[in-house]
Amino acid sequence: MCRKKMISSILMLVSVLGINAQQQNDTVKTNSTLLDDVVVYSSRFAEKFKRVAQTIDVLKTREQLNFQPNTADALINSGKLFVQKSQQGGGSPVIRGFEASRILMVVDGVRMNNAIYRAGHLQNIITIDNMVLDRMEILYGPSSTLFGSDALGGVISLSTKDPILSTIHKTQYTGAATLRYSSAMQENRGNVQLNIGGPKWASFTSVSYGSFGDLVQGNNRRMDYPNFGKKNIYVERVGNVDMIITNPNPNKQIGSGYKQVDITQKLLYQASEKVQHILNLQFSNTNDIPRYDRLSETNGGVPVFAEWYYGPQLRTMMAYHLSAKEQSGFFKDIKITASFQDVEESRITRRFQNNNKDFRWERIQVFGLNVDAKHYYGKHELHVGAESYGNFVKSTAERVNIVSGFKSSITTRYSDGPTSMSTHAIFAQHTFKISERLTINDGLRLNLVQLNAQFVDTALTRFPFTKVKQINQSITGNIGIVYATKQNLRAALVFSTGFRSPNVDDLAKVFDSRTGLVVVPNTSIKPEYTYNVEFNVNKYSKLFSYGAAVFYTAFDNALVLDRYLFNGQDSIFYSGVKSAVYALQNKAKARVYGVSLNASFQISQRFSMEGVVNFTKGQFRDAINGKTPLDHVPPTYGRVALKRQGLKWNADFSVLFNGWKRLADYNINGEDNLQYATSDGMPAWYTLNFRSSFQLKKQIQLQFALENIFNQNYRYFASGISASGRNLSLSLRAAF
């Protein structure tokens, strides 16, 4: 990509924006630049950011959340987090080098992480409908005091829209309809929302449907890798024979399209000014989602798989939320959330020119209860809570000959007998507001995790055990000090710890992470721990604002995938292929450190610039291999944007970028997926993007976006699918 093209495009855009600015006379509502006005909610109770030691990012505008293909893309396009993708229908966020089951996802105060969240790459975030999101908060660093197991690297807290009560003495009906189209992924998506509000009762309903075709990647490749990412062939079943078909457009990633339906229903009852009840129902369902990375694998020029897809992924959640504030007892504010989640997922595979099709199904039911209460005394605030979640897993499998119809037994992905996991905790978080300038946060949490897994049929696996049982206890804590001035400067130093107890996926799973490598259970693994120190600073002003965070995390008892002996053998036959045996093992001490920088500059009343850049480095050490790069650690990444804000027209011209991930920085045995990179690693890239929204009428908004303007071919580190090429997207929202 030519630098002159980039410069000329920026100058052209600035001139266009400038002409329009001269033509408009509307008054701009500027963003708040006061530290006192920044409020975060991820601790379950609203708190001013100047009183919180932890680094937190907030996404809350419609452009950031609702006008995106899915929730994973909302994170990608913010530049705040790195996101890995194994297929178009997914996205695995990474927080400071921690990913999947080592970070925690929470929706409306309910843990999404369940007993089978894996440590590799996790694509479940798309089951949260971004069109119904009200805000998204990213908590950086260990957060186990408030959130328990899995929050080793941080938390993504997602909040959906609540029903709105009537502001007059009669029922009010409001709503909106949104239509989206994008060219590179052939996206056709629609959403309808309806709010019925009375003085005490309110209902909010949202229905979304999305159809995504095969993703088209960019055509402009680096000279060193002229064929990188091309999909030259694909498999098609003709009669009873698998045929290799030549792809007429190698940039079209055939086998990446999918469909999805999301429904949200909330009912609110305002019992009094201080007591509120909400019933929260959420449903998400996809069709079969092709696992594009595995479908692109070849051996000697021949596809390894004819079929590899996730079956319909269903997520059902029912939750009851009670919120009581300004009560007369010891605890002034009380929040209770009782929840039930039912998750179904499956994996279906068939090797090329093989008639045996393998089906593996999982169903997880999760019951949860959260109780939070807050006491105020003088300059002190005490937040105490209790949490309990019970997971029940059912894993089944079978092999079907697609020609004869004959069925036979195969290994289940997880233990095939009764399998359960429960987490229980009590915690206390204390805030001491010493003065307007100085605040201390400190807290402790006692965690108890129990796991029971039974293996009924061991004839195929020949495990030397029939059950796995673990009880793990842990105490985690945090302490931080925050200094905030009236000049909107905030600085904080925080120490925090995190832990993750092995779950069913860690302890009771057999699978092939890639052809020729099989992962078997290791019943002796123990919890992982992180110990983090961080210094962060933020400065807000009308013209120039900035922020920075420097962190260092010690990762002890880290579970890493390494060679293993199974029944005394270093290789076994799995799915008909002789495969090297690997298992998770607590054999490493890892260190992760990095820095994040952000800044914004108000050029004029309408124009501003903003940017964010993130750098992370990680490695682990063990007695045998010495120092080795830690997997999941992304290259340097970020975003820079020139923005124009107005009442009727907003626009931004942005650059998204990723640095090189060199071969020497890859973890060969981990989850870095070197097989999907070039011979030198994953090349650096940047894209130029333009996005603009128009308020056509009071109730009608149009968004236009042109992404990857120069049609660059690129792929996110550890991803098995290339990103979209030049992409035109249109979003039209009509409200009433």
Look-up of token digits 């108890």 = 448
The DSSP result for 215-268, as a single string, is EEBPSB--TT-TTTT---EEEEEETTEEEEEE-SSTTEESS--EEEEEEEEEEE
**436-to-317, 441, 484 alpha-carbon distances in Å:** 41, 14, 7
The reply to whether the predicted model has a pTM over 0.85 is yes
Q: Give the pLDDT of residue 145.
A: 84
Q: Where does 498-604 have alpha helices with state H? A: 504-507
The pLDDT score that the predictor gives to residue 593 is: 97
Kindly list the distances between the CA atom of residue 373 and the CA atoms of 158, 272, 332, 381, in Å, as whole numbers in the listed order: 21, 19, 7, 10
- Give the whole-angstrom CA distance, residue 699 versus residue 705: 20
The residue among 569, 499, 485, 559 whose CA lies nearest residue 529 is 499
Distance CA 374, CA 334 (A): 6
C-alpha distances in angstroms, 124 versus 156, 315, 318, 613?
A: 13, 9, 18, 26
φ, ψ at 125 (rounded to 5°): -65, -25
**Residues 6 or more apart in contact with residue 56 via CB below 8 angstroms:** 40, 42, 49, 137, 138, 139, 140
Q: Is the four-CA dihedral 720, 723, 729, 732 of positive or negative sign?
A: positive
CA distances from 29 to 33, 366, 428, 610 (A): 12, 44, 40, 18
pLDDT of residue 437: 94
- Res 157: pLDDT: 96
- Over the chain (736 residues), what is each successive 10-residue block's mean pLDDT? 43 38 33 70 87 93 90 94 94 95 96 93 94 95 87 94 94 97 97 97 98 97 96 95 97 97 98 97 96 94 95 96 95 97 97 97 97 96 97 96 95 92 96 96 96 85 79 95 94 95 87 69 89 96 94 91 78 73 84 96 95 95 78 96 92 97 90 94 97 93 96 97 97 95
- C-alpha 697, offset from chain centre: 35
State the CATH number of the domain containing residue 152. Answer: 2.40.170.20
What's the confidence (pLDDT) of residue 668? 84
| pLDDT score at 14 | 38
- What's the rounded Cα separation, in Å, for the pair 94 and 596? 14
Domains: count for the chain: 1
Yes or no: say if 135 and 60 are a contact pair by the CB < 8 Å rule: yes
pLDDT score, position 248: 97
Amino acid type, 376:
Y
How far is the CA of 113 from the CAs of 151, 389, 486, in angstroms?
10, 10, 40
Show the DSSP H helices in 286-392 as ranges.
292-295
Token pair listed for 219: 């055509």
Q: Count CA within 13 A, CB hemisphere, residue 221.
A: 16
Q: Are the C-beta atoms of 496 and 477 separated by less than 8 Å?
A: yes
Which secondary-structure segment (H or E) carries 668? Answer: none
Checking DSSP bridges between strand 154-160 and strand 133-140, what pairing results, if any? antiparallel
Q: 370 is in which domain, residue-wise?
A: 3-735
| Strand bridging mode 380-401 / 419-433 | antiparallel
Report the alpha-carbon distance of residue 75 to residue 91 in Å, rounded: 9
84 with 723: CB under 8 angstroms? no
What's the farthest any 2 CA atoms get from each other in the chain? Answer: 78
For 154: left if phi > 0, alpha if psi spans -120 to 50, otherwise beta; the answer is left
In this structure, the number of other CB atoms found within 10 A of the CB of residue 328 comes to: 7
Strands (E), 166-217: 172-182, 187-197, 201-212, 215-216
The total number of residues written for the chain in this structure: 736
What distances in angstroms separate CA 545 from CA 64, 234, 489, one per listed residue?
20, 50, 10
Q: Which residue has the tokens 């830690």?
A: 630
Compute the distance between CA of residue 103 and CA of residue 139 in angstroms, rounded to an integer: 10
Q: What SS3 class is residue 701? A: strand
DSSP 88-130: SS--EEEETTEEGGGSEEEETTEE---TT--SS---GGGGS-G
In angstroms, the CA 116 to CA 508 distance is: 9
Amino acid letter for position 141: G
Tell me how many degrees the CA angle 122-503-393 measures, rounded to the nearest 5: 85
